[in-house]
Amino acid sequence: MHVHPIFSAMRRNKVGAAVIAAQIALTLAILCNALFVIQQRLALSARPSGTNEPDLFAIANEWVGAAGDPVARVQADLALLRSLPGVAGAYVTNAYPLTGSGSTDMLSLDPEQLRAAPAAQYFGDEQTLRTLGLRLIAGRNFRAEEVANLGTSDSPHYPHPSGLIITQTLARKLFPDGDALGRGVYYGGQHSTTPIIGIVERLQVPWTRIGGWGSAWNDSSIVVPFRYVAQGAYYIVRAQPGRLSALMKSAPRRLVALNHDRVIGRVQSFPQARTEVYRDDRGLAVILAVVCAVLLVVTAFGIIGLTSYWVAQRRRQIGIRRALGATRLAIVRHFQTENLIIAAAGSIAGITLGAGANLWMVSSFATARLPLVYLLAGVAVVLGLGQLAALRPALRAASVPPAEATRTV
């Protein structure tokens, strides 16, 4: 295969070749970055929350007025929920995973908070671990008598929790050199330490936004033995398999029947929460995938258009080459190689452009660095696309009869 005739042909079509190369460069730059973002977002939205999502739902409850003993009415609610047929567990809390809203505490190894680690705090009781389906890998669960009440605005003191259950990730972060179980940490700005009594395998923080609050410590959570009796709180209910949707309808009705002085807010299943909280991430992935697909089609048609023109323009030359003995295959190879050379040049520019675009995204959107494999995959795709797009015009060129050489002049 001689590349010399290809180069001399290209020299006569500098702009056309440059246009194709530019298009391939831009396509490559967009493609590899978009593929990377898609992969990131899909991986993000597939992270496990650590809970038994399919059987869980939350009821937002808000008390109206100050009637009744705040602790007694919550305990009555919990007793009711736990007695309902089909309920495998229930507790009251301030927040739950996959919602994007919760509260943070700085756990510290010293009272000055110099060595502190942030963690999402979930209030719960002795039923929380069982309800959420968290796997305890060390230590023990709370005992019923260890659970204190929290959330009445007139309570004279902040209760000091009897102990904390923390995630494995957080345990490693706080005590990188060893066993966290039984060690004390400063929680909630208290002046004395609280012992870590249990470690669970995994419990995600409520926040899920990429680069947002909590993204750097996504698995650092604590369960605090507080019964959250505040004005507004969530009941988390675990249904027995298959009973979820029926319970989501009946449980709120039973609560209202028990006590009218309330507003039932949102009743949300954990699978719904997951869909909603990751909606933008999946949406972005879908949009980028559509853009990439359309982009490849547009680029392919651009290549087909220009290459067809070149074929038409050079019919006579092709005829001469055929008359001089070139095979059809040689003609096809001429156009395919021409396309490969242009696409390769475009790819080199595209790699630079793509890497530059990524650097800019790193600085302005706090995304991660583009791994090399995406650039290589992008190069493979655009080179393949170019070959595919050039094939039809190349075959048309190969069908030019040698007699074309004698047509004119």
Per-position x/- string for 368-407, each x denoting binding to other proteins as judged by CB under 8 A, each - no binding: ----------------------------------------
Rounded Cα distance between 58 and 265, Å, is 10
Question: Among residues 86 and 188, whose Cβ is nearest to other proteins?
Answer: 188
From the CB of 16, what's the least distance to other proteins, in Å? Answer: 6
Per-residue HEC secondary structure of 90-116 comes to: EEEECCCCCCCCCEEEEEECCCCCCCE
Who contacts 397 (Cβ-Cβ below 8 Å, separation ≥6)? 311, 314, 318, 331, 332, 334, 335
Who contacts 146 (Cβ-Cβ below 8 Å, separation ≥6)? 126, 162, 163, 225
- Beta bridge partners, 267, equal 59
By the rule CB under 8 A, 190 interacts with other proteins: yes
From the CB of 383, what's the least distance to other proteins, in Å? Answer: 17
Who contacts 85 (Cβ-Cβ below 8 Å, separation ≥6)? none
Per-position x/- string for 193-232, each x denoting binding to other proteins as judged by CB under 8 A, each - no binding: -----------------xx-x-----------------xx
**Would residue 68 be called left, alpha or beta, if left means φ above 0 and alpha means ψ between -120 and 50 degrees?**
left
* Secondary structure E strands in 69-203: 87-93, 103-108, 116-123, 136-139, 148-150, 164-167, 184-185, 194-200
Torsions phi, psi for 60 (to 5 deg): -85, 125
Mutual angle of helices 270-277 and 279-313, in 10-degree steps: 40
From the CB of 30, what's the least distance to other proteins, in Å? Answer: 5
From the CB of 274, what's the least distance to other proteins, in Å? Answer: 13
By the rule CB under 8 A, 133 interacts with other proteins: no
From the CB of 340, what's the least distance to other proteins, in Å? Answer: 18
Question: Among residues 294 and 373, whose Cβ is nearest to other proteins?
Answer: 294
Interface segment toward other proteins; rule CB under 8 A; list 75-83, 154-162, 332-340, 369-377: 154-162
By the rule CB under 8 A, 27 interacts with other proteins: yes
* Residue in 46, 66, 79, 362 binding other proteins, rule: CB under 8 A: 66
Rounded Cα distance between 150 and 198, Å, is 21
Interface segment toward other proteins; rule CB under 8 A; list 47-55, 63-71, 81-89, 388-396: 63-71
Interface segment toward other proteins; rule CB under 8 A; list 50-58, 61-69, 71-79, 336-344: 61-69
Q: Could you say which residues in the range 81-110 bind other proteins, by CB under 8 A?
A: 95, 101-104, 106
Rounded Cα distance between 86 and 238, Å, is 9
From the CB of 135, what's the least distance to other proteins, in Å? Answer: 28
- Token output for 42: 């899909």
Rounded Cα distance between 99 and 53, Å, is 13
CB 344 within 8 A of CB 24: no
Dihedral of alpha carbons 386, 389, 391, 396, sign: negative
By the rule CB under 8 A, 284 interacts with other proteins: yes
By the rule CB under 8 A, 293 interacts with other proteins: no
From the CB of 153, what's the least distance to other proteins, in Å? Answer: 5
By the rule CB under 8 A, 7 interacts with other proteins: no
> Which amino acid appears at position 242 of this protein?
G
Per-position x/- string for 225-264, each x denoting binding to other proteins as judged by CB under 8 A, each - no binding: ------xx-----------------------x----xxx-
- Token output for 376: 């290589």
- Token output for 217: 């410590």
By the rule CB under 8 A, 342 interacts with other proteins: no
* Residue in 54, 182, 184, 189 binding other proteins, rule: CB under 8 A: 189
From the CB of 120, what's the least distance to other proteins, in Å? Answer: 12
